[in-house]
Chain A
Amino acid sequence: MNVLEIKDLHVALSDGEGRPQTEIIKGLDFVLPKGEIHAIMGPNGTGKSTLTKVLAGHKDYIVTKGSILFLGEDLLSLDVEERARKGIFVAFQYPVEIPGVNNAYFLRTALNNIRKMRGEKELDPIDFMKLAKAELKSLKMDPSFLNRSLNEGFSGGEKKRNEILQLKLLNPILAILDETDSGLDIDALRIVAEGVNSYHTKENSVLMITHYQRLLDYIRPDVVHVMVNGQIVKSGNAELAVELEKTGYEKFAS
């Protein structure tokens, strides 16, 4: 079964009033089967991050043509929160800082919304803290993270780890990692990758967006795609990432 099916997707940036302006994604086709890990690689400005925003439902990006199915359902007809509740999680490249919103309170609210959607019992604060502390330990994060404001004053690495903490707690069907490796030192990269690997099972799927092969040393993809100028131009196995590291993206530009 396919978790994600994208057909002939065209996306433009909104002019701020809901009218399409510059086209960024220009006829993208993509399929992600259940249980697989796929990586999309490509040069700057090619539309990789735009794709993650479109999948999450950001209003600044307008789909002008094409379709996206998530588990066979029309994703584009769903609101942002409906997508999250149905099992889509985006680990953002630049997680937003929200002063005054307590990390623990936010995480519990998010988790309980998703549990409610799945027909599971909501967690009370005590049970939630037990669960969260266990996940924090696995990510080598200090428990004090839970009492801090959401991402406020976090270093780049802390923000990325906080995204992975959310991933592990929310346990979505599809995890989309948007340049999760950027800004991470080697140790942090390994911890984050271990977090992603411990999340991944045959029941869920991962889509990684990255520039570099180094993340793929830790999280082994089933398929690597090259995205250039808003389209997938080549797909292959993990060896393709190694080749890209040597040759770069230039040969795909033409």
Chain B
Amino acid sequence: MKVIEKENKKFETIQWPDPKDERYLYFPFDQWQQVPWKIARAKDEQSQSLLSSTLLQRLQSLFSERVVYIQVFANQVISEDISVEKKESSFFINALDSDWEDPFLASFQKQAETYYIPIEQNCIVIVEYSMPEDFSNSFASFNLYFSIESGVNVKFMEYFAPSSHSFFMANRIFHLQEESHLEKIVLTTQGKNKALLFDNIYYELQQKAFVSSVNVPQIKGAYRKNMYASFVGQEAHLENYTLHRVKNNDVYDHFAKLKHDAKETSCKDTLHAIAEDEGVSNFCTRIVIGKNIAKATSNQKAKGIALSNTVKFNFRPELEIYSDEVECSHGASIGSLDEEALFYLRARGLSLEEAKELLVQATESSILDHSFLPQDLIQEVIGENQ
């Protein structure tokens, strides 16, 4: 691929977080701060999709709606199927809720290319984020603002293919207008070596807007999810399901702030983490229910399964409630696989490894069942380009 050039200068303006910043308490920045990151910029050409044509055809054949394909290659966004309008970064930053302010993320957002993508009709959207494999230490950041019009139903697949030794900072706003409906799945494929991926997502939900998102981050290196949601319209609903498996000394770091600013809004943030070797899984979700927000319902749940005794889980579910008449719950559990279930499966002739894998798959299924994509297809997408 010849569509990318690397600027011959270090990216010097990263404002790394204060080590005491509670949002990043468990994130291993020290491993990444020393890397001489170079900015990757794409030229105005479209590169080939990383997803095979067979897989894309299969995806398209599952649904009757129009398929919109968007390619994000390094910092550049291209689509032949939908209007992609370039904007100033202030357009993106001004749209963010002041409660979401994060100097670290802002330092990227200010300098990133910004694109506005209105979605006005029911459709399937496939967004593919990639960088070429041969540009180690390359860094890309972009701001995407998706506006989903009133009453529009969208199925949305995001596919991250970070290359080895790369650093992706993906900033997306999803502005959901009244009664719009977004079903989303976020998938990643692993590069050959470690990468750093920041998956920053901001939702603003108007009245009766609905979001269901399934996230399957599989990465070598570190994956940071920043999820912010503002429920500004009555009866807005968001549910977010995450499944990840960390191995070696990889890190998955989940930070979410879910803010209920309207009555009868509901939310659910669920994580199932499977860790082995010296893998680290962090989950910090803060639910905030403002004053006079009646009948809000919010739930956060994290379940960690340790496949070895050298893994680390840092689970910190938090509630900030300023209203009466709300229903909130939070919980976290950490343990190994159910010994009785393992015994039962082995007593039917399954080896210990087979029994463990079956129980891990069962945990995975309980998250993947929430996706609009069938499980075999999800596994196929994840398996591509590995």
* The residue from B340, B348, B351, B365 contacting A100, defined by CB atoms under 8 A apart: B365
Q: Does B363 contact A (CB under 8 A)?
A: yes
| B365 & A166 in contact (Cβ 8 Å cutoff) | no
Count chain A residues whose beta carbon lies closer than 8 angstroms to a beta carbon of B. 28
Contacts of A59 in B (CB 8 A): 343
| A170 & B347 in contact (Cβ 8 Å cutoff) | no
| A110 & B341 in contact (Cβ 8 Å cutoff) | no
| B366 & A99 in contact (Cβ 8 Å cutoff) | yes
Contacts of A57 in B (CB 8 A): 346-347
| B358 & A109 in contact (Cβ 8 Å cutoff) | yes
Q: Does B333 contact A (CB under 8 A)?
A: no
Q: Does A96 contact B (CB under 8 A)?
A: yes
The contact string, 1 if C-beta is below 8 Å from chain A, for chain B 151-166, is: 0000000000000000
| A106 & B349 in contact (Cβ 8 Å cutoff) | no
Distance between Cα atoms of A166 and B349 in the complex (Å)? 12
The minimal Cβ–Cβ distance linking A200 to chain B, given in whole angstroms, is: 20
Q: Does A81 contact B (CB under 8 A)?
A: yes
Contacts of A56 in B (CB 8 A): 343, 347
Distance between Cα atoms of A166 and B363 in the complex (Å)? 23
Q: Does A114 contact B (CB under 8 A)?
A: yes
Stretch with Cβ within 8 A of B (4 or more), from A84-92, A181-189, A243-251: A84-92
Given A99-B366, A100-B361, A100-B366, is A110 in contact with B350 using a C-beta cutoff of 8 Å? yes
| B362 & A84 in contact (Cβ 8 Å cutoff) | no
Distance between Cα atoms of A101 and B362 in the complex (Å)? 5
* The residue from A79, A92, A149 contacting B344, defined by CB atoms under 8 A apart: A92
| B340 & A110 in contact (Cβ 8 Å cutoff) | no
Q: Does B354 contact A (CB under 8 A)?
A: yes
Distance between Cα atoms of A110 and B346 in the complex (Å)? 9
| A113 & B346 in contact (Cβ 8 Å cutoff) | no
The minimal Cβ–Cβ distance linking B330 to chain A, given in whole angstroms, is: 21
* The residue from B338, B346, B358 contacting A84, defined by CB atoms under 8 A apart: B346
Q: Does B14 contact A (CB under 8 A)?
A: no
Q: Does B345 contact A (CB under 8 A)?
A: yes
Which chain A residue shows the least CB distance to B358? A101
| B346 & A106 in contact (Cβ 8 Å cutoff) | no
Q: Does A98 contact B (CB under 8 A)?
A: yes
Distance between Cα atoms of A56 and B345 in the complex (Å)? 11
| A81 & B349 in contact (Cβ 8 Å cutoff) | yes
Q: Does B352 contact A (CB under 8 A)?
A: yes
Q: Which of A77-123 contact B (CB under 8 A)?
A: 79-81, 83-85, 89-90, 92, 95-96, 98-101, 106, 109-110, 113-114, 117
| B362 & A99 in contact (Cβ 8 Å cutoff) | yes
| A170 & B344 in contact (Cβ 8 Å cutoff) | no
* The residue from A58, A98, A117 contacting B359, defined by CB atoms under 8 A apart: A98
Which chain B residue shows the least CB distance to A169? B348
Q: Which of B312-351 contact A (CB under 8 A)?
A: 338, 340-341, 343-351
Which chain A residue shows the least CB distance to B365? A100
Distance between Cα atoms of A207 and B354 in the complex (Å)? 28
Distance between Cα atoms of A95 and B361 in the complex (Å)? 20
* The residue from A83, A90, A113 contacting B350, defined by CB atoms under 8 A apart: A113
Closest 8 CB pairs of A and B: A100-B362, A80-B346, A84-B349, A110-B348, A113-B349, A100-B365, A81-B346, A96-B344
Q: B residues within 8 Å of A by Cβ? A: 338, 340-341, 343-352, 354, 358-359, 361-366
9 other A-B residue contacts (CB within 8 Å) besides A81-B346, A100-B366: A57-B346, A79-B346, A80-B347, A84-B346, A99-B366, A100-B365, A101-B345, A109-B350, A113-B354
22 A-B residue pairs with Cβ-Cβ distance under 8 Å, sorted by A, are A79-B346, A79-B352, A81-B346, A81-B350, A83-B347, A84-B347, A85-B349, A92-B347, A96-B340, A96-B343, A98-B344, A98-B359, A100-B361, A100-B363, A100-B365, A101-B359, A106-B345, A106-B348, A109-B350, A109-B354, A110-B345, A110-B349
